[in-house]
């Protein structure tokens, strides 16, 4: 019989407690949210009027709960929202827009219920319903000791008429004999956490079980001594100059040695907190930090130096052999001289500043002060190391910016997610910079390829002009076009090949944010069963510490799903619904943001077109304007479009892993597609320059190209193939 839209008490006992037969047989239910049967085939709601009575709070270890369906806490959001004590007791925030047929919230005061206790709900039930004493007491939120809880659970597993309290010690002996040590410890730890037992109770019970070869319960004895804090002691306020992190080409990042003393100095504020996964490549982190902190200064320095050199050559301050060019501008042929020094000097300046900018700043005491756990937390003194790790939230509080060096394993590491949570609770979303470390080598490879390609093109064009002479304008123009295509094809083999093989890694970021769950994050202690693989010493449980801290921060991650969502679910929701859109909108997700492209791949084009300044100065008038417009379009259109097209084409289609030995063929095909598209853009920039007399065509085509570039960068990011 169909249930009414507004469920009564007895209806709640039946609602979605059985799997949907339509979904089981056909894989689809046409009723959708109007279905009164459970679509969660793995865990339908439990009937609250029988032995599986549970409290309306999510179990903190529900994914691996050893109690299973006997747990005294809810295991799904449906069990919380449609619980007798929760259903229709709060107003729906979207009551006028809500289309949920069985919405658990009240749509107006007429639907609002008063919280009904289990005492009154069960008043009419027979005493022989076999209610579990342990779960019943849990639902009434009574405080139990761990030993009492175990006794109640054991009573629920025996005959209800048996009034003698079971012997916990005997039960432990039998459990130790029939179950694995890890399973027993997990059960005890979960029981202690579930009922909110004091850890003194857990320690006492552990001493009872010591005769049965049980190691200490993870997170029990050591929990009172270890506690995460957001308050940072004065002696721990350490930061290190960024040039120390980057010196010797990132040796500190690449070194596998972890037993080093702190190299930080005491500070009041930290400029940047660097969050990273210890297991990812140090070389990739080094390249990522270069792009974040040095690329902008390198771009400004290279362009400025090129402009100064070109102006000095234009006004004959520098006497050097200029490059002769023959150009057709508006139907008129001009023999011009371009700067031959501005481009190579710009290249040298860019490389020097990109690598050593922080070292240059440190000579004036202005290098950025950053927090890097490996250098700011003493790795030799175990006591200081422990204090530093437990105070990571305090380091976040005194930092002005968070830089996440993202790797595919970042969101799978528990301490990385804790650092992220410590930052997000401060509501500093706009002060986050996310740099996928696999994007750094792709951008640097494309940038290096552009420098090399343009340099080879300049030299090849110089040779072509010297061979063809000044009378064969058409031949020289055609030769220049073909030489440009040839240099581009050769120069883009490596970046295209590199970006293809990194496409899956780069594309994992949006997917990880979409399906983020802190419960899935791994920790070193839990991965090794709380025993150090080398020293065989007991490892305290970090997971319980972090989950307890998130419970304290629950109010900082409030979402719109009500007060009954757990702190872990609230944090997961915060990452998926707030952090993910912000990252994909401002950082670019798996692609490079436009500002970063201006500081990398656009710089070679800027320095190349700046070499035309002597020609513009000497031509003057409309020809100078038209030549300058072409140069500007090459820089702001061709520069950012090159890496964008490479990433788009690399991500398109299938990957070579599915086709064995076709790897090189796919690279060649993608390069061919890229060369065709880039040639069309270059022709759209250059051909209007040669049109006679009227400048309108060039302005129109230029405006169209700029609009196309803006549209290309405002469209949604490309989706990389799934791994």
pLDDT of residue 494: 76
- Higher confidence at residue 629 or residue 196? 629
452's CB contacts (< 8 A; 6+ apart) are 491
What stretch of H or E contains 597? Answer: helix 594-598
Q: Which helix (H) or strand (E) holds 153?
A: helix 146-156
- Give the 3-state secondary structure of residue 276: strand
Say if residues 546 and 414 touch (Cβ distance below 8 Å). yes
Q: Give the C-alpha separation, 234 to 391, whole Å.
A: 11
Question: Out of 227-231, 457-461, 673-677, which region has the weakest mean confidence (pLDDT)?
Answer: 457-461
pLDDT over 50 at 70, yes or no: yes
SS3 of 422-487: the string is HHHCCCCHHHEEEEECCHHHHHHHHHHHHHHHHHHHHHHHHHHHHHHCCCCHHHHHHHHHHHHHHH
The confidence score (pLDDT) of residue 257 equals 58
Q: What is the bridge-based pairing of β-strands 265-266 and 238-241?
A: antiparallel
Q: Which of 227-236, 407-416, 560-569 has the lowest mean pLDDT?
A: 560-569
> 133: pLDDT confidence band, cut at 50, 70 and 90?
very low
What is the DSSP annotation of 678-710? Answer: HHHHHHHHHHHHHS-S-SHHHHHHHHHHHHHHH
Pairing type for strands 432-436 and 402-406 reads parallel
Least confident span in 10-14, 229-233, 444-448, 658-662 = 658-662
Q: Give the lowest-confidence range in 118-122, 321-325, 434-438.
A: 118-122
SS3 539: coil
Cβ of 8: how many Cβ atoms within 10 Å?
Answer: 9
| Cβ neighbours for 715, distance < 8 A, ≥ 6 positions apart | none
145 to each of 35, 58, 65, 151, 194, how far by Cα in Å? 41, 20, 19, 10, 11
Percent of the chain with pLDDT over 70: 72
The answer on pLDDT for 165 being more than 50 is no
Per-residue pLDDT, averaged over 52-78, amounts to: 78
Q: Which of 70-84, 483-497, 564-578, 601-615 has the highest mean pLDDT?
A: 601-615
pLDDT at 132: 35
Bridge partners (DSSP) listed for residue 433: 403
Going by pLDDT thresholds of 50, 70 and 90, the confidence category of residue 587 is low
- Nearest 5°: CA angle at 674, between 669 and 676? 95
723 band by pLDDT with thresholds 50, 70 and 90: very low
The residues, ordered by sequence, that sit 6+ positions from 257 with a Cβ below 8 Å of its Cβ are none
Token representation of residue 718: 């490309």
User: What is the three-class DSSP state of 368?
Assistant: coil
pLDDT at 368 over 80: yes
Report whether 208 contacts 169 (CB < 8 A): yes
Q: How far is CA 206 from the centre of its chain?
A: 40
Residue 645: its pLDDT value, please?
Answer: 83
Summarize the confidence of residues 620-636 as an average pLDDT. 86
Structure-model confidence comparison of residues 708 and 603, the more confident one: 603
pLDDT band at 597 (very low <50, low <70, confident <90, very high): confident
The per-residue pLDDT of the chain, averaged, comes to 75
Q: Which residues of 445-457 are buried (b: 16+ CB within 10 A; e: fewer)?
A: bbbbbbbbbbbbb
CB atoms within 10 A of CB 673: 16
Secondary structure percentages of the chain, helix, strand, coil, to 5 = 55, 5, 35
Residue 190 has pLDDT above 50, yes or no: no
Q: Is the dihedral of CA 576, 578, 579, 584 positive or negative?
A: positive
How far is 162 from 166, CA to CA, in rounded Å? 9
Instruction: Measure the CA dihedral 423/425/426/427, to 10°.
Output: 100
> What pLDDT shows up at residue 391?
92
Instruction: Name the residue with higher pLDDT: 692 or 383.
Output: 383
Model pTM? 0.68
Residue 126 has pLDDT above 60, yes or no: no
> What would the mean pLDDT of 439-449 be, rounded to a whole number?
88
Closest C-alpha among 219, 226, 700, 228 to residue 419: 228
Q: What is the pLDDT of residues 34-43, one digit of tens each?
A: 888 888 888 8
Predicted pLDDT at 663: 66
Residue 480 reports pLDDT greater than 90? no
- Coil/strand/helix, residue 517: coil
d(CA 170, CA 609) in angstroms, rounded, equals: 85
pLDDT reading at 122 higher than 60: no
Highest mean pLDDT: which range of 281-295, 420-434, 487-501: 281-295
Which has more confidence, 371 or 525? 371
- pLDDT-derived band at 523 (thresholds 50, 70, 90) equals confident
- Rounded CA gap, 341 and 308, in Å? 11
- DSSP states of 306-336 as a string? HHHHHHHHHTTSS--PPEEEEEEETTEEEEE
Distance, CA of 404 to CA of 587 (rounded, Å): 11
**206 SS3 class:** helix
Q: How confident is the model at residue 568 (pLDDT cuts 50, 70, 90)?
A: confident
How sure is the predictor about 344, in pLDDT bands with cuts at 50, 70 and 90?
A: very high
Contacts of residue 713, Cβ cutoff 8 Å, sequence gap at least 6: 594, 640, 644
Residue with tokens 């004091």: 198
The CA distance from 292 to 399, in Å, is: 17
Most confident of 110-124, 169-183, 612-626: 612-626
Beta strands, E only, 70-194: 73-74
Q: Are 438 and 502 in contact (CB under 8 A)?
A: yes
pLDDT tens readout for residues 385-402: 889 999 999 999 999 999
N-terminal to C-terminal alpha carbon distance within the chain? 46
pLDDT of residue 194: 42
CB atoms within 10 A of CB 663: 15
Q: Looking at residue 22, what is its pLDDT? A: 84
Residue 545 has pLDDT above 80, yes or no: yes
């Amino acid at each position: 019989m169909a249930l009414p839209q507004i469920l009564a008490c007895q209806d709640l006992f039946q609602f979605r407690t059985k799997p949907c037969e339509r979904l089981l047989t056909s894989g689809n239910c046409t009723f959708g949210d109007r279905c009164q049967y459970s679509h969660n085939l793995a865990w339908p709601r439990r009937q609250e009027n029988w032995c599986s009575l549970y409290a309306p709070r999510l179990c903190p270890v529900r994914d691996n709960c050893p109690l299973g369906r006997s747990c005294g806490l809810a295991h799904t959001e449906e069990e919380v929202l449609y619980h007798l004590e929760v259903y229709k007791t709060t107003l729906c925030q979207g009551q006028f827009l809500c289309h949920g047929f069985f919405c658990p919230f009240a749509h107006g005061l007429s639907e609002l219920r008063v919280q009904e206790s289990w005492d009154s709900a069960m008043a009419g039930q027979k005493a022989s319903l076999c209610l579990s004493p342990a779960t019943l007491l849990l639902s009434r939120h009574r405080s139990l000791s761990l030993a009492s809880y175990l006794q109640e659970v054991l009573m629920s597993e025996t005959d209800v008429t048996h009034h003698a309290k079971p012997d916990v010690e005997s039960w432990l002996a039998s459990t130790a004999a029939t179950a694995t040590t890890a399973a027993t410890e997990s059960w005890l730890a979960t029981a202690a956490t579930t009922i909110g037992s004091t850890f003194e109770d857990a320690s006492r019970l552990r001493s009872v079980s010591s005769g049965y070869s049980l190691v200490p319960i993870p997170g029990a004895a050591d929990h009172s001594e270890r506690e995460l804090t957001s308050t940072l002691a004065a002696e721990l306020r350490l930061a290190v100059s960024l040039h120390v992190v980057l010196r010797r080409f990132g040796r500190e990042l690449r070194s596998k040695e972890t037993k080093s003393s702190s190299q930080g100095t005491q500070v009041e504020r930290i400029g940047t907190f660097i969050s990273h996964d210890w297991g990812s490549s140090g070389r990739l982190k080094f390249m990522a930090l270069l792009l974040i902190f040095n690329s902008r200064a390198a771009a400004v320095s290279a362009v400025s130096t090129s402009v100064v050199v070109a102006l000095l050559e234009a006004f004959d301050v520098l006497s050097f052999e200029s490059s002769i060019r023959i150009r057709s501008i508006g139907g008129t042929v001009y023999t011009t001289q371009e700067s031959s020094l501005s481009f190579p000097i710009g290249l040298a300046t860019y490389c020097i500043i990109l690598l050593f900018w922080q070292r240059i700043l440190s000579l004036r005491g202005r290098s950025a002060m950053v927090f890097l756990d490996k250098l700011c937390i003493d790795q030799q003194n175990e006591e200081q190391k422990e204090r530093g790790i437990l105070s990571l939230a305090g380091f976040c509080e005194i930092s002005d910016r968070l830089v996440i060096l993202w790797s595919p394993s970042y969101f799978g590491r528990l301490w990385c997610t804790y650092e992220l949570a410590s930052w997000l609770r401060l509501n500093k979303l706009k002060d986050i910079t996310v740099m996928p470390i696999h994007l750094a080598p792709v951008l640097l490879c494309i940038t290096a390829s552009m420098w090399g390609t343009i340099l080879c093109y300049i030299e090849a064009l110089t040779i072509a002009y010297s061979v063809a002479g000044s009378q064969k304008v058409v031949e020289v123009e055609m030769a220049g076009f073909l030489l440009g295509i040839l240099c581009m094809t050769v120069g883009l083999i490596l970046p295209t090949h590199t970006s293809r093989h990194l496409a899956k890694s780069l594309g994992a970021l949006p997917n990880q944010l979409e399906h983020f769950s802190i419960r899935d994050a791994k920790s070193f202690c839990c991965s090794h069963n709380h025993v150090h693989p080398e020293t065989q010493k007991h490892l305290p449980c970090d997971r319980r510490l972090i989950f307890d801290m998130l419970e304290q921060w629950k109010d900082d991650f409030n979402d719109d799903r009500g007060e009954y969502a757990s702190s872990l679910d609230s944090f997961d929701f915060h990452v998926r619904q707030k952090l993910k859109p912000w990252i994909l909108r401002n950082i670019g997700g798996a692609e490079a943001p436009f500002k970063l492209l201006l500081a990398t791949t656009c710089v070679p084009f800027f320095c190349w077109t700046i070499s035309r300044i002597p020609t513009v100065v000497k031509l003057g008038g409309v020809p100078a304007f038209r030549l300058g417009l072409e140069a500007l379009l090459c820089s702001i259109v061709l520069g950012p479009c090159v890496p964008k097209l490479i990433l788009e084409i690399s991500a398109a289609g299938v990957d070579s892993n599915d086709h064995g030995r076709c790897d090189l063929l796919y690279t060649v095909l993608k390069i061919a597609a890229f060369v065709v598209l880039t040639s069309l853009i270059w022709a759209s920039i250059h051909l209007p320059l040669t049109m006679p007399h009227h400048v309108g065509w060039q302005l129109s085509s230029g405006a169209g190209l700029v609009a196309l570039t803006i549209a290309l960068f405002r469209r949604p990011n490309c989706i990389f193939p799934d791994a």
